[in-house]
Amino acid sequence: MPTSVTMPELGESVTEGTVTQWMKKEGESVTVDEPLLEVSTDKVDTEIPSPVSGVLTRILVAEDETVEIGAEIAVIGSADEAPAEQAAPAAEEAPAAPEPAAPEPEPEPEPEPSPAPASSAPPAETAEAPAARAEAPSAEQPSETKTDVDTAPPIDIETLSGTGQQSGTDAVTEAYVTPLVRKLAADEGVDLSTVRGTGVGGRIRKQDVQQAANEQRERRERAAAEPAAPAGAAAPTEPARKVVPDTTLRGRTEQMSPLRRSIAEQMAESLRISAELTQVIEVDVTNIARLRERVGEQFRTREGVELGFFPFFAVATVEALKTHPKLNAVIDSSKYEVTYHNVENLGVCVDTDGGLLAPVIKDAGDLNLGGLARKIADVTSRAHSGQLTPDELSGGTFTLNNTGASGALFETPIMIQPQVGILDTGSVVKRPVVVDDPNLGEVIAVRSMVHLALSYDHRLIDSSDASAFLRSIRERLEEGAFEGELGLA
Whether 458 is catalytic = yes
Q: Give the bridge partners for 284, in sequence order.
A: 449
Helix (H) or strand (E) holding 449: strand 441-457
What does residue 171 show for φ and ψ, rounded to 5 degrees?
-65, -40
CA torsion through residues 143, 144, 149, 150, sign: positive
Instruction: Quick: pLDDT tens for 139-153.
Output: 444 434 333 434 333
Task: Give the pLDDT of residue 42.
Answer: 67
Task: Give the pLDDT of residue 177.
Answer: 59
What does the pLDDT profile of the chain (489 residues) look like in tens digits?
788 999 888 776 678 888 888 989 898 999 888 889 888 776 677 788 888 889 999 999 998 888 888 899 999 988 766 544 444 444 444 444 444 444 444 555 454 444 444 444 444 444 444 444 444 444 444 434 333 434 333 333 232 233 333 333 343 333 345 556 776 787 788 888 788 776 645 667 777 788 888 888 777 766 665 544 443 333 333 333 333 444 777 888 888 877 788 888 889 999 999 999 999 999 999 999 999 999 999 999 999 999 999 999 999 999 999 999 999 999 998 898 999 999 999 999 998 877 889 999 999 999 999 999 999 999 998 888 878 888 898 899 999 999 988 889 999 999 999 999 999 999 999 999 999 888 888 999 999 999 999 999 999 999 999 999 999 999 999 999 998 888 776
Residue type, 280: V
CATH assignment of 3-77?
2.40.50.100
* Cβ partners under 8 Å of residue 311, min gap 6: 369, 372, 373, 376
Task: Single out the catalytic residue among 150, 353, 391, 458.
Answer: 458
292 burial (CB, 10 Å; 0-12 / 13-18 / 19+) is buried
CA dist., res. 470 & res. 481, Å (int) = 17
Q: Parse the chain into domains and list their residue ranges.
A: 3-77, 190-221, 274-486
Total-model pTM: 0.60
CB 400 within 8 A of CB 423: yes
Helix (H, G, I), strand (E, B) or coil at 319: helix
Neighbours of 325 (CB within 10 A): 13
Query: Is the fold of 3-77 the same as that of 274-486?
Result: no
- CATH fold of 274-486, please? Chloramphenicol Acetyltransferase (3.30.559)
Task: Give the pLDDT of residue 406.
Answer: 86
